[in-house]
Structure 1
């Protein structure tokens, strides 16, 4: 109940229709209890008195009650269908919005399949609970209470016989809920694991095929699917057990009541009509009682889904230090201190949140100054922390200690929206979305947007002339992950996205690694014009990229060990000379 009550903020806007639907369902269900009373009248009246007209009238009344019951249940379904679909849509929208605002560290920890299963399967289970079990646990409970009152009113001794199984059924249901909740949670987590494997296999299909790993992937999938199958069979066994108990115990009680009632009719202590009405009422209560098992199962799965949903929703979002001109917490906005311009790293230390406590930090006391309008190349061996340092500028990760200043203002004191208007990034691994070429590039234009001239300029800077030869030009859909394009084409579009908004600060993580030497030379020539008007930090692995920079910083084991021009570092730093010689050519770092 604690888990399910967390749905109230979503259900509250539609509570009127849901409440009305519950009342309508109670009325419809209770109509079925009127039918046995009509049967009693028919048996003790027209049938006993041999009056055919009375029998036909009673039959018409029963038919009318049945039609009214069906119409009311149809009305209940109509009342809840639209609002509960809206509840599901609202929860899915909130989950998606929240995922966009969660820090990168969260996404590093959570498999995407687990998030997908929460946004699809779990929310569907919640909607099904709101549409059916939530209402009918209440409706069936009211029906059983009213039905028991009718039974006791007809014959209290037979009524007590039918009430005997209540206590053991409550105990059985309590035990069932305890066990089923554990199995339901395990099954839903395993669905998330299975979704992750499917997603990874689809996105990595080129690797799977290229290395002939389809059998091993199929075996991994089969193992997870078999584990899920075993868990689902466990759920089925529990449900079969509770269903058997809930069905058999009331049936035994009805059988005993039938024998006792027949004896009383034979002795003249009970009318035949009363016995017919009693047994008809008891049989009408079979469904409300027998449905308890699967209603509890659906409710438990929904409760587990709610827990899984709020596991994500309870994760803290990226917090902006400044909102509406105020600063959160006790950290003040730093006053600009000379030299105030450019990009400055002051004692920056960073450790990944999931790193062991005794592990050394990825960055340890980095001090670096990039003057306004200057381009700084960042060079270092694999694992030295280059990519991590660039990710700290737009606050994809938060510094563990120290601070980063943009024009004298600590980035931690800036709203992220403002920070990411000032800083534009291009990553070594370019990511494109299932949209057109133009839409992918213009994502970097910021809230002010950009038009056709800016798009053309960005494509020209990135030497992305291939766009003109695509089937629909810049309106061509690039497909999921942009895999319809080559690696170099994707990288050029990512670079165009970084420069289209004319950012004041530009952070490039080895943006030319996938280009051939001729295209690289053309891109570098065009990029020099862009770099004149911005302050840039560029991760470089090749001398040609380093030559774009005014100065070079050498990062070694998380520290800046040398800063100077390319020629100065070649002369004064053996490590830098070794890296630029080709012996230390590196790929991306974490």
Structure 2
């Protein structure tokens, strides 16, 4: 992030006008490879539901037949048929689970893999805007929600709908009068469910976003635990976490109330209709207009349809959860990636690094704010090392981030070795340019893996040379040497050790172009001198831009560029700028807070 950046805003929330069905249909891309498994699972569930609907007919036959005629011999085959129907139902529902379990695990893995790959391809500006907790929740809880939807709610939305349709036809066939009485609640239920879907979708999206915010707070608390403990701010962060958790709890309770209201209607209206049908059926039986067995079959069918009707609320609620999870997933997947060149790179000028009229502003900057970088013109000759100095907030870090295209320029051109970086494939560009940032980032991996991230093909000799250049011999004293896990963010190492490993990672591949953002800031004076001595050999074989704050780092460079208010104020040797640039003298003077040792270095360099 830039030195003068404001905290990143929350990711955008989608427009309230949306379609649950349209959001869920976008999952077809991932569900298509397992469509035959899903079809088989739906068929198995339909057959199981069909077995459930056959049971009332068998019961009616038992009542009107063996029981009505006191024929026990005819009873046992029908009882055996009921047992077979029960076993078939249980077996088919079990088969449904077996059919989809493994394929849906592959779908979840594929979606999570694609999401992670997408995050790697998205520009740094995207990651500046999105809190990490929001991305984490999309890759974990949202993926689980989508897998569960495909495994259960999707199947039973189809199966239960067809079962309700089949049961309704059966009830009307048994007695149209009782059937109409029982089906009357369907009309208000459709209207109520439509209204429920609109409100619940918004609440579900809010809850998922709040869950992402909560994950962000938790992640920041864990990563910043040393700071929190050092300043005694555990209670402050705990209060912040509690506030976020309370917001999520309030939203979840509101969702529960909405679902409870729907469930009361879904359960209550059919029960009233069933009671009315039972009373009417009893009257019809009393007047010999309906047999007892038919009434039993009708009531058994109506009771068998309780599950499809009562499950409607839960299925609708989960479908809305899944649709908002799908929206959140595709919010990321639909984000434009870093643009790749449309034409082959070609040489436009001499070797080295050249910036022509380069301008830059962050995408989220206010429209009326000035550019952070305004017309940068700079030429670093091939094999030359140039130091970049400037006050805090002048744009030094931002400028270094433009060379590997972590950000794209707002205007102007940058060429490396005569090639326009806008026309270079990003993979090739980042092979040419190696970067070491002031704030070193290490991963939960071994020392070897962290350093070789800069050049995976580098051999043991190159690895040892890079460690020697960065004065990182301490790694051989670690418990497992180069195979020691450094822990999350490299917290098991000191700041200077992390910085040295980051420097080794930058130089291990002998890059053609090297960008170092104040790479020695965390080192003690003795180690800094050793690193500088070894680094001179590396810099002699590359073209480098080095952000410097100390005179000792400046002395590594052949020339120095002074950056002020987004422009290059002056370029020259260290001595030339001391003699002719007041701003540079101020930066290098005691007024900037240099200690006595650095003043002595400055005085000795000036005397030379």
2:474 is aligned, of 460, 466, 470, to: 466
Query: 2: distance between equivalents of 1:60 and 1:184?
Result: 47
- Aligned match of 1:154: 174
Query: 2: distance between equivalents of 1:317 and 1:390?
Result: 21
- Using the TM superposition, give the Cα deviation of residue 319 of structure 1 relative to its aligned residue in structure 2, in angstroms: 1.5
Query: 2: distance between equivalents of 1:551 and 1:269?
Result: 107
- Using the TM superposition, give the Cα deviation of residue 56 of structure 1 relative to its aligned residue in structure 2, in angstroms: 2.1
TM norm structure 2: 0.93
Structure 1: 4+ residue segments shifted above 3 A: none
Confirm or deny that 1:509 pairs with 2:517: yes
Query: 1: distance between equivalents of 2:37 and 2:153?
Result: 16
In angstroms, what is the RMSD of aligned CA positions? 1.0
- Aligned match of 2:84: 64
Confirm or deny that 1:475 pairs with 2:477: no
Listed one character per residue, the Cα deviations across residues 360-413 of structure 1 (whole Å, up to 9, x for unaligned) are 111111111111100000011111111111100000000111111111111111
1:546 is aligned, of 554, 563, 569, to: 554
CA contact (8 A) 1:133 1:299 kept: yes
CA contact (8 A) 1:375 1:549 kept: yes
TM norm structure 1: 0.96
Listed one character per residue, the Cα deviations across residues 259-303 of structure 1 (whole Å, up to 9, x for unaligned) are 111111111111111111010000000100110000000000000
- Aligned match of 2:579: 571
Confirm or deny that 1:536 pairs with 2:556: no
CA contact (8 A) 2:465 2:508 kept: yes
CA contact (8 A) 1:579 1:585 kept: no
- Aligned match of 2:377: 367
SS at match of 1:268: coil
CA contact (8 A) 1:431 1:490 kept: yes
Query: 2: distance between equivalents of 1:185 and 1:301?
Result: 7
SS at match of 2:193: helix
- Aligned match of 2:247: 227
Q: Please give the residue correspondences for 1:129-208 in structure 2 after superposition, counting only pairs within 5 Å.
A: 129-208=149-228
- Aligned match of 1:351: 361
- Aligned match of 1:122: 142
2:348 is aligned, of 336, 350, 355, to: 336
Listed one character per residue, the Cα deviations across residues 50-86 of structure 1 (whole Å, up to 9, x for unaligned) are 1122222221110110000000000001011111111
| Unaligned residue ranges in structure 2 (runs of 5+) | 1-20, 595-608
Query: 1: distance between equivalents of 2:131 and 2:510?
Result: 35
SS at match of 2:27: helix
Query: 1: distance between equivalents of 2:404 and 2:347?
Result: 20
Listed one character per residue, the Cα deviations across residues 530-560 of structure 1 (whole Å, up to 9, x for unaligned) are 0110000000000000010011111111111
CA contact (8 A) 2:346 2:419 kept: yes
- Aligned match of 1:291: 311
CA contact (8 A) 2:347 2:417 kept: no
Query: 2: distance between equivalents of 1:370 and 1:184?
Result: 54
CA contact (8 A) 1:542 1:585 kept: no
1:497 is aligned, of 499, 502, 505, to: 505
Query: 2: distance between equivalents of 1:445 and 1:227?
Result: 46
Query: 2: distance between equivalents of 1:465 and 1:445?
Result: 19
- Aligned match of 1:420: 430
Query: 1: distance between equivalents of 2:181 and 2:381?
Result: 90
Query: 2: distance between equivalents of 1:228 and 1:334?
Result: 54
Query: 2: distance between equivalents of 1:132 and 1:250?
Result: 24
SS at match of 2:461: helix
CA contact (8 A) 1:462 1:523 kept: yes
- Using the TM superposition, give the Cα deviation of residue 585 of structure 1 relative to its aligned residue in structure 2, in angstroms: 5.1
- Using the TM superposition, give the Cα deviation of residue 584 of structure 1 relative to its aligned residue in structure 2, in angstroms: 2.4
1:281 is aligned, of 291, 301, 304, to: 301
- Using the TM superposition, give the Cα deviation of residue 334 of structure 1 relative to its aligned residue in structure 2, in angstroms: 4.8
- Aligned match of 2:395: 385
SS at match of 2:453: helix
Query: 2: distance between equivalents of 1:27 and 1:201?
Result: 52
Query: 2: distance between equivalents of 1:265 and 1:558?
Result: 93
SS at match of 1:126: helix
SS at match of 2:562: strand
Mean Cα displacement is larger for which, 279-288 or 352-361? 352-361
- Using the TM superposition, give the Cα deviation of residue 39 of structure 1 relative to its aligned residue in structure 2, in angstroms: 0.7
| Unaligned residue ranges in structure 1 (runs of 5+) | 328-332
Query: 2: distance between equivalents of 1:202 and 1:389?
Result: 31
- Using the TM superposition, give the Cα deviation of residue 161 of structure 1 relative to its aligned residue in structure 2, in angstroms: 0.7
CA contact (8 A) 2:340 2:426 kept: yes
CA contact (8 A) 1:111 1:196 kept: yes
CA contact (8 A) 2:348 2:420 kept: no
- Using the TM superposition, give the Cα deviation of residue 336 of structure 1 relative to its aligned residue in structure 2, in angstroms: 2.6
- Aligned match of 1:330: none
2:47 is aligned, of 19, 27, 30, to: 27
Query: 1: distance between equivalents of 2:491 and 2:67?
Result: 79
Query: 2: distance between equivalents of 1:418 and 1:334?
Result: 14
Query: 1: distance between equivalents of 2:257 and 2:348?
Result: 68
Query: 1: distance between equivalents of 2:276 and 2:74?
Result: 32
Query: 2: distance between equivalents of 1:420 and 1:173?
Result: 53
CA contact (8 A) 1:425 1:506 kept: yes
SS at match of 1:347: strand
SS at match of 1:439: helix
Confirm or deny that 1:521 pairs with 2:529: yes
